[in-house]
Structure 1
Amino acid sequence: MARIPAKYYLALVPEGPIQEAATSLKEEMKALYNLKYALKSPAHITVKMPFEWNENKEQVLIQKLEEFFEPFMAFDLKFEGFDHFGRRVIFVDVQPSGVLNALQKALNDFCKRELKLNNELSDKAFHPHMTISFKDLKPKNFDLYWKHITTKSFEADYFVKDVALLKRLEGRWQVIYRFTLKS
């Protein structure tokens, strides 16, 4: 069977009102400034950067991750306000969480050891956030974008009950599986 490479990543993907509010902000940035790249995936907090995996062994990936996530407990997170990385990324800020940091570190150690995946710089310098605009954001117009986004507010409590596996399908990222955390 030939190896068919596919792209995946792992993230916390809120559903309901949080997803709707973040998507609404992304759509507003598209309507006003033609910033549309962030709409290629649902609003999320990345916990393992995109990686390639043989699509023919997708079930093996899911099974190994299912075993990894099995002992982890559900936990609370808080979204509050906005921040940015330089003049290239605008995001909803996530309040510090030792539980999330520990989960992310354990996941990346597991992925390196058991799945033979490389750790990206973003995996090592973890800064939880939910992106609103990036990639097509023009640094020369950053002040305009930032002024607009800071007229908004974003505050939400998020009970993290699962971690999603996303896959790139036809140019968009879609949740293909959710690993349930213990409640």
Structure 2
Amino acid sequence: MTKVMGKYFLAIVPDEPLKDAITDLKEQLRASFGIKYALKSPPHITLKMPFVHSENKEVELVKSLRKFFEQEKSFSLSLGRIGSFGNRVAFMKVKYPPELLFCQQRLIAFSKTVLKKSIELSDTNYHPHLTLAYRDVKKDQFEQVLEYLKGNSVKGSFNVHQVYLLKKVDGFWRIIEEIKLSS
């Protein structure tokens, strides 16, 4: 059996219609500014940064994650104001309860001890956000992009009852598994 490695990450994806509204906003950025990189994944809040894992062991990965998340309780999140990291990343700020931070910390420990995954700097310096534009934003257009987003921002709240395992397929991040939290 050939060992094929896949790239995965774990995220929270907003419910409909909020998910569609955010995707529409990303589409508007593509139409207005030529920014399209953020469209390579569904709107999401990352819980565990991308990691490499054997595709032959994907079923076991999902089973392990299900076991972990069945211990985690549902919580609520609110999205709204626009923020940025430097002059290359624009995002929606997330208002979140301490439960999200604690869940993410437990997930990172679980990832290291059980899944044997490395801990990234961004895993330990967790700043929940929903990225709208990055990587292909030109420095000279960044302020315009921010102003556009502030004038067209999407706001909303949703309850998190599940997280998603995403996998990179043909250059796009695809949801491959929904994993329920305990109620």
- TM-score strictly above 0.5: yes
User: Aligned equivalents of 1:60 and 1:175: distance in 2?
Assistant: 17
| One-letter amino acid of the counterpart of residue 106, structure 1 | R
CA contact (8 A) 2:15 2:158 kept: no
Give a deviation string over 1:33-52, Cα, whole Å, max 9, x none.
10000000000000000000
After superposition, residues 88-107 of structure 1 pair within 5 angstroms as 88-107=88-107
Report the alpha carbon displacement of residue 182 of structure 1 after superposing the two structures with TM.
Answer: 1.5
| One-letter amino acid of the counterpart of residue 153, structure 1 | S
Could you say what secondary structure the match of 2:6 adopts?
strand
For 2:12, the equivalent position in structure 1 comes to: 12
CA contact (8 A) 2:7 2:52 kept: yes
Unaligned runs of 5+ in 2: none
For 2:174, the equivalent position in structure 1 comes to: 174
For 1:146, the equivalent position in structure 2 comes to: 146
Give a deviation string over 1:46-95, Cα, whole Å, max 9, x none.
00000000001000100111111111111111112111111011011101
User: Aligned equivalents of 2:41 and 2:129: distance in 1?
Assistant: 14
Give a deviation string over 1:5-59, Cα, whole Å, max 9, x none.
0000000011311101110110000000100000000000000000000001000
| One-letter amino acid of the counterpart of residue 157, structure 1 | S
CA contact (8 A) 1:71 1:182 kept: yes
CA contact (8 A) 2:75 2:97 kept: no
Report the alpha carbon displacement of residue 111 of structure 1 after superposing the two structures with TM.
Answer: 0.2
User: Aligned equivalents of 1:41 and 1:116: distance in 2?
Assistant: 25
Report the alpha carbon displacement of residue 2 of structure 1 after superposing the two structures with TM.
Answer: 2.0
**Root mean square deviation of aligned Cα:** 0.9
CA contact (8 A) 1:82 1:154 kept: no
| One-letter amino acid of the counterpart of residue 57, structure 1 | K
TM-score by length of 1: 0.97
Between the aligned residues of both structures, percent identity stands at: 40
User: Aligned equivalents of 2:17 and 2:85: distance in 1?
Assistant: 25
For 1:53, the equivalent position in structure 2 comes to: 53
User: Aligned equivalents of 2:71 and 2:108: distance in 1?
Assistant: 16
For 2:115, the equivalent position in structure 1 comes to: 115
User: Aligned equivalents of 2:68 and 2:59: distance in 1?
Assistant: 14
| One-letter amino acid of the counterpart of residue 21, structure 2 | A
For 2:86, the equivalent position in structure 1 comes to: 86
Could you say what secondary structure the match of 2:151 adopts?
coil
Q: How many pairs were matched up? A: 183
Give a deviation string over 1:100-149, Cα, whole Å, max 9, x none.
00000000110011111011111111110111100101122111111111
CA contact (8 A) 2:76 2:96 kept: no
User: Aligned equivalents of 2:96 and 2:179: distance in 1?
Assistant: 22
After superposition, residues 128-139 of structure 1 pair within 5 angstroms as 128-139=128-139
User: Aligned equivalents of 1:143 and 1:77: distance in 2?
Assistant: 27
User: Aligned equivalents of 2:155 and 2:31: distance in 1?
Assistant: 23
Could you say what secondary structure the match of 2:109 adopts?
helix
For 1:74, the equivalent position in structure 2 comes to: 74
